Amino acid sequence: MTNYIGLIHKEADSDYGVSFPDFPGAVTAGRTLDEAREMAEEALAFHVDGMTDDGEAIPEPSSLERVMTDESNRDGVAILVSLKTQATKAVRVNITLPEDVLHTIDAFAEANGLSRSGFLARAARHEIERSSAA
C-alpha cells in the first residue's frame, strides 16, 4: 500500500481541512480530526481513481522533506494517508491515427471533460468489455 502526505489545516471557526501536495486540487474536510483522516483516505482514492480513468499518470509520493520545502505547506500538520485503490501505472504509448479520427476524438473528449488519453482508455475498456460479454 502506498502512502501520501496529507496536510491538515484548521482555522478557528472551520472544520479540519486536508490537502494533498502531490495532488493539487484534491481536498476534503471533517468536523473532527478522526473524521478528517477518514475523509482524506476516501478523497485520495476517489481522486486517484479519476486520474486513472482519465489516463493520467499517478505521481510517486513526495518525501516529507520535499513537501516542507514549500513554505505554503508549513502551516499544515503532515499526516500519512494510505492510498486504498488499485490504481495502475499509466504508460506513455505512441500510436498513429488518421487525422480526422484524431480530431473527432479530441472534440468528443473536450466536450465530455476528458483528456485524449482518458477517452482512449475508456473506449478501449468499453470495447474489451463488450467483446467479453458477447
Judgement on whether residues 37 and 70 belong to the same structural domain of the protein: yes
So what's the pLDDT on residue 86? 63
What domain range includes position 19?
Answer: 2-83
pLDDT in tens, 78-119: 999 999 876 566 677 899 999 999 999 999 988 877 778 878
Sheet containing 16-19: order of strands: 27-30, 16-19, 2-10, 77-83
Nearest Cα to Cα of residue 87 among 117, 59, 122: 59
Judgement on whether residues 128 and 67 belong to the same structural domain of the protein: no
Judgement on whether residues 110 and 59 belong to the same structural domain of the protein: no
Cβ contact 31:10 at 8 Å:
no
Which alpha helices (H) appear in the chain, and where do they start and end? 33-53, 64-68, 99-111, 116-133
Total domain count for the chain? 2
Judgement on whether residues 56 and 106 belong to the same structural domain of the protein: no
Judgement on whether residues 12 and 68 belong to the same structural domain of the protein: yes
Judgement on whether residues 66 and 21 belong to the same structural domain of the protein: yes
Judgement on whether residues 105 and 78 belong to the same structural domain of the protein: no
pLDDT in tens, 2-49: 899 999 999 888 899 999 999 998 999 999 999 999 999 999 999 998
- In the structure grid, which three cell numbers stand for residue 25, read together? 486540487
User: Cα 26 to the chain's mean position, in Å?
Assistant: 7
Judgement on whether residues 48 and 114 belong to the same structural domain of the protein: no
